[in-house]
């Protein structure tokens, strides 16, 4: 490919993404998408993607945990595979693009390369990772974590969703996690490139068409459990309460105050559950989640240690029991420098404005960075909105991202690499 090609495929992409978005729990009145791991909408979406990959001329297969791969076989079986793709699961009432765009864009890129340039030297694959968000079970990156060896396919017995269903049983009910199915861990990967929406407002504010990710922030997730005493809302004087909800409220306000003081750190309480969750009963127990992120591992650790000491003091002063359970810890991860430079050059050839940046969102790419050269390509998000039905990027922006991905994959897989 002497001169990279700038596609105009955004409208087609949007049609495919709109179709993918129909695979959702309930028809959210807000137009949001809810597609959680191993649910019926998840199965239907993976089946639709398998069809789409097949129509694109790719060889299709699932691995043991339900990761879906579309393969464009290369001429040289002795060189590593170049992988692209993203995750098919969503948050509850999320958008149409987070994850889905990287899969659909990867399929479109491989389809174009096969039809235009035939067989590559390196095998190219596009993957639909079964899960990344951590929205159903207290684990994130289940898909890429099994491909990179971080997780074992049969380590999900103890992981329960809010209904008490284990990941293992949900996986088997979906036809995965069975003996004889292909293993997940890959040892043949030469690079991973993920196309994704920015999910932030920097590219829009800076009027840049492409984001080149230099690093992905570190992330910690916890469950905080408080044990007080359920009691009558009408007959229990204020100074005789062991109120788990009031304690949680004090902790959540404290979290916001401390995070606001720690530059560039973000902290979120996304879920809270009270029991017995009845208006006229003082909550005896409350459980809430913490999601804390920063681009520096030392700051992340320091902040969590400081916060949890404060939580101990608050719980002791109020006479409540406190348990803090970690369930996700990822360190800040750099992307591959030379791939970032290569993307910069592709953007130049395509006359696409671009800038280097951090990702405040987590991505499957962060699990590949330690095992092979890894890169991420961002396209702008309207008003920076994501994890919301209002998540939007224009057809032109989506198309620009695929143009960059296709040009980069061509250079990586079709051109003899300088040794
Ligand atoms: N692309 C994402 O939205 N990733 C999300 N998921 C994880 N696992 O980080 C997140 O919360 O940032
Ligand atoms: Zn997400
Ligand atoms: Zn994502």
Give residue 153 CA to ligand 1 midpoint distance, Å: 21
Give residue 233 CA to ligand 2 midpoint distance, Å: 39
User: What protein residues have CB closer than 5 angstroms to ion ligand 3?
Assistant: 98-99
Give residue 3 CA to ligand 2 midpoint distance, Å: 34
Give the domains, in start order, of the chain with CATH numbers: 10-217+332-418 (3.40.630.10), 218-330 (3.30.70.360)
**Ligand 1: which residue has its CA nearest to atom 6?**
133
134 lines ligand 1 (CB under 6 A): yes
Alpha carbon distance 175, 51 (integer Å): 18
Give residue 314 CA to ligand 2 midpoint distance, Å: 32
362 lines ligand 1 (CB under 6 A): yes
- Judged by its nearest atom, the ligand closest to the C-alpha of residue 140 is 1
Is 283 within 8 Å of 318 (Cβ atoms)? no
pLDDT score for 233? 98
Q: How far is CA 302 from CA 215, 219, 223, 325, 365, in A?
A: 20, 13, 18, 17, 25
For strands 189-197 and 374-379, give the pairing: parallel
**Ligand 1: which residue has its CA nearest to atom 3?**
361
Looking at ligand 1, which atom is closest to the CA of residue 362? Answer: 9
- Judged by its nearest atom, the ligand closest to the C-alpha of residue 200 is 1
Give residue 300 CA to ligand 3 midpoint distance, Å: 21
pLDDT score for 141? 97
Residue-by-residue pLDDT tens, the chain, 419 positions: 567 788 888 889 999 999 999 999 976 678 899 999 999 999 999 999 999 999 999 999 999 999 999 999 999 999 999 999 999 999 999 999 999 999 999 999 999 999 999 999 999 999 999 999 999 999 999 999 999 999 999 988 899 999 999 999 999 999 999 989 999 999 999 999 999 999 999 999 999 999 999 999 999 999 999 999 999 999 999 999 999 999 999 999 999 999 999 989 999 999 999 999 999 999 999 999 999 999 999 999 999 999 999 999 999 999 999 999 999 999 999 999 999 999 999 999 999 999 999 999 999 999 999 999 999 999 999 999 999 999 999 999 999 999 999 999 999 999 876 55
**Ligand 1: which residue has its CA nearest to atom 4?**
362
Ligand 1: residue of 362, 366, 377 to mutate (most ligand atoms within 8 A of CB) is 362
DSSP state of 279: T
ipTM value for the complex: 0.96
Give residue 40 CA to ligand 1 midpoint distance, Å: 22
361 lines ligand 1 (CB under 6 A): yes
Longest dimension (CA), the chain: 80
Give residue 227 CA to ligand 2 midpoint distance, Å: 31
Give residue 230 CA to ligand 3 midpoint distance, Å: 39
**Ligand 1: which residue has its CA nearest to atom 12?**
361
Smallest CA-to-CA distance from 290 within 310, 319, 263, 318 is with: 310
pLDDT score for 359? 98
Ligand 1: residue of 98, 100, 130, 133 to mutate (most ligand atoms within 8 A of CB) is 133
First to last CA, the chain: 20
Give residue 290 CA to ligand 3 midpoint distance, Å: 19
Is 7 within 8 Å of 112 (Cβ atoms)? yes
- Residue 398: partners with Cβ closer than 8 Å, 6 or more residues away: 10, 13, 14, 17, 97, 101, 105, 379
91 lines ligand 1 (CB under 6 A): no
Is 89 within 8 Å of 43 (Cβ atoms)? no
97 lines ligand 1 (CB under 6 A): no
φ/ψ of 288, rounded to 5, equals -135, 160
Looking at ligand 1, which atom is closest to the CA of residue 361? Answer: 12
């Amino acid at each position: 490919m002497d001169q990279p090609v700038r596609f105009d495929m955004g409208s087609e992409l949007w049609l495919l993404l709109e179709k993918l978005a129909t695979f959702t729990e309930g028809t959210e009145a807000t137009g949001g998408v809810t597609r959680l791991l191993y649910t019926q909408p998840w199965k239907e979406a993976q089946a639709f993607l398998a069809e789409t990959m097949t129509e694109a001329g790719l060889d299709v297969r699932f691995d043991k945990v339900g990761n879906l791969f579309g393969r464009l076989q290369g001429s040289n079986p002795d060189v590593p595979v170049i992988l692209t793709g993203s995750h098919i699961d969503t948050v509850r009432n999320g958008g149409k693009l987070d994850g889905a765009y990287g899969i659909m864009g990867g399929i479109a890129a491989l389809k174009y390369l096969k039809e235009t340039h035939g067989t590559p030297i390196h095998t190219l694959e596009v993957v639909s990772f079964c899960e990344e968000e951590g929205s159903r079970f207290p684990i994130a990156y289940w898909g890429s974590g099994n491909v990179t060896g971080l997780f074992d396919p049969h380590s999900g017995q103890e992981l329960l969703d809010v209904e008490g269903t284990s990941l293992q049983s949900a996986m088997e009910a979906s036809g995965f996690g069975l003996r004889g199915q292909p293993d997940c861990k890959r040892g043949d990967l030469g690079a991973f490139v993920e196309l994704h929406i920015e999910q932030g407002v920097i590219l829009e504010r800076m009027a840049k068409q492409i984001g080149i990710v230099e690093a992905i922030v570190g992330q910690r997730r916890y469950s905080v459990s408080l044990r007080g005493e359920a009691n009558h809302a009408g007959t229990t004087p204020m100074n005789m309460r062991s109120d788990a909800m009031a304690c949680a409220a004090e902790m959540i306000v404290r979290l916001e105050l401390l995070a606001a003081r720690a530059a560039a750190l973000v902290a979120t309480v996304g879920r809270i559950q009270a029991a017995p969750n009845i208006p006229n009963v003082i909550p005896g127990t409350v459980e809430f989640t913490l999601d804390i992120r920063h681009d520096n591992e030392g700051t992340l650790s320091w902040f969590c240690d400081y916060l949890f000491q404060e939580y101990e003091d608050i719980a002791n002063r109020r006479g409540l029991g406190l348990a803090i359970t970690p369930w996700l810890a990822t360190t800040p991860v750099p992307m591959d420098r030379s791939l970032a430079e290569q993307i910069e050059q592709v953007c130049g050839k395509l006359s696409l404005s671009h800038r280097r940046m951090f990702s405040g969102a987590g991505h499957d790419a962060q699990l590949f960075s330690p095992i092979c050269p890894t890169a991420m390509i961002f396209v702008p998000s309207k008003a920076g909105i994501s994890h919301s039905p209002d998540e939007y990027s224009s057809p032109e922006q989506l198309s620009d991202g695929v143009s960059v991905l296709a040009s980069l994959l061509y250079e990586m897989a079709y051109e003899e690499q300088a040794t």
